[in-house]
Amino acid sequence: MPTRNAQHLVVDIGGSHVTAAAVRIDAAAGPHPDAALVSRVERGVDPHESSHTVLDAWAAACRDAAVRAGVDPGACDWGLAMPGPFDYERGIAHYAGVGKFDYLAGVDIRSGLAARLGAEARRIHFVHDAAAYGIGEWRFGAGAGTARRFVCITLGTGVGSAFVDDGRLVFDRPDVPPGGEAHRLTFAGRPLEDTVSTRALLARYGGGASFTVKDLATRARAGDHRAQLAFDTAMAALAHTIAPWLASFGATGVVLGGAISRSWDVLERGFRAGLAQAGADGDLRIVPSGLLADAPLFGAAHLLEQLAAGPCLTAPSLA
């Protein structure tokens, strides 16, 4: 069983960064326990560097986070929240042709990190980053204690999702999208991410090469109608696309996270309007992320805790 105030070593791998941390969970605090970051180390990583350079950078952040928490990095289990496409069971990267980490394609990440950390390969575990985000929000963040069936949608370079049924990630049931992944869905005959993503928002508005979603939100707040319309259009499309799945899953709580969710004040209107038009607003509790960038760290820690307690749902979760 999980021990009181257990520390879990976790990592969030991003397209241009790595964040490693030790998370302490007070498992004796009841169904919604307290959790805290004991240490947190974030480093920039060039995704176009060689596999050795990238793995060295990831491992260095891991070692630093462990040392700051007073833990031997080779003596503990690690939970890594990884973006896809990735073989979470085997620990093999499949990033060829996706615009990042090309030199990691086909690389055994589990063995590579284990060797650098002085750990046994069996102690390196992987989970989809969107799944980790959702579990983090369900247990420790904006979704804590609010819904038995809970959905987290993450918005950034793409659309991520986690469907959580009483604390368990759901991937292969008829009441969730294929693989539990919203990015596989379509809107108006095209991939959803062609309408709902950073690139789609900025393309809809224009604004130049250095223009960001944060800039777009600033303009919307200042009364720029075109900027607000860009958000409204994207969020209404997301709502229309996800509404049938919220209904089939029986969700009563929805959290929107990811980088774009930081602009919740200009996102909310379009999303709620889209759900209302789809007849799916009902009794849904809709809130922005409470943990933001730390959500995957807390989610990976929760899954490590469950792994220590006994068998848990793994594919494509922690393995």
Name the percent of the chain lying above pLDDT 90.
83
Q: What is the pLDDT of residue 167?
A: 87
- Give the largest Cα separation in the chain, rounded: 56
Q: How far apart are CA 39 and CA 18, in angstroms?
A: 14
Q: What is the pLDDT of residue 309?
A: 64
* Residue 202, pLDDT above cutoff 80: yes
Q: What is the pLDDT of residue 204?
A: 95
The correct answer on CATH 3.40.720.10 for the domain covering 146-289 is no
According to the 3-state scheme, what is the secondary structure of 10-65?
A: EEEECCCEEEEEEEEECHHHCCCCCEEEEEEEEEECCCCCCHHHHHHHHHHHHHHH
- The pair of structure tokens assigned to 309 is 């307690």
Interhelix angle 198-205/213-221, nearest 10 degrees = 50
Q: Where is pLDDT greater, at 27 or 229?
A: 229
Domain range annotation of the chain:
6-131+294-309, 146-289
Name the pLDDT band for 313 (thresholds 50, 70, 90).
very low
Name the percent of the chain lying above pLDDT 70.
93
* Residue 310, pLDDT above cutoff 80: no
Residue type, position 183, single letter? H
Name the pLDDT band for 278 (thresholds 50, 70, 90).
very high
Q: What is the pLDDT of residue 96?
A: 84
Instruction: Report CA dihedral (27, 28, 32, 36) to the nearest 10 degrees.
Output: -50
Q: Which of 257, 252, 233, 127 is nearest to 182 (CA)?
A: 257
In tens, the pLDDT along 71-112 reads 999 999 999 999 999 999 999 999 988 888 999 999 999 999
Topology (CATH level 3) of domain 6-131+294-309:
Nucleotidyltransferase; domain 5 (3.30.420)
Instruction: Please answer whether residues 108 and 124 qualify as being in contact, where contact means their C-beta atoms are separated by less than 8 angstroms.
Output: no
Q: What is the pLDDT of residue 283?
A: 83
CA atoms within 13 A on the CB side of 68: 17
* Residue 6, pLDDT above cutoff 80: no
Q: Where is pLDDT greater, at 65 or 5?
A: 65
- 2-11, 62-71, 213-222, 261-270: the lowest-pLDDT one: 2-11
In tens, the pLDDT along 124-148 reads 999 999 999 999 999 999 988 777 8
Cα→Cα distances 259→93, 153, 228, Å? 24, 11, 17
Cα→Cα distances 304→72, 202, 307, Å? 17, 37, 5
**Over the chain, what is the mean pLDDT?**
91
Prior bond of 85 cis (ω within 30°): yes
Q: Which of 76, 72, 57 is nearest to 18 (CA)?
A: 57
Q: Which of 301, 294, 291, 290 is nearest to 27 (CA)?
A: 301
* pTM of the predicted protein model: 0.92
| 194-229 exposure pattern, b = at least 16 Cβ within 10 A, e = fewer | ebbbbebbbebbebeeeeebeebbebbeeeeeebbe
Q: What is the pLDDT of residue 98?
A: 80
Domains 6-131+294-309 and 146-289 share a fold: yes
Instruction: Please answer whether residues 317 and 180 qualify as being in contact, where contact means their C-beta atoms are separated by less than 8 angstroms.
Output: no
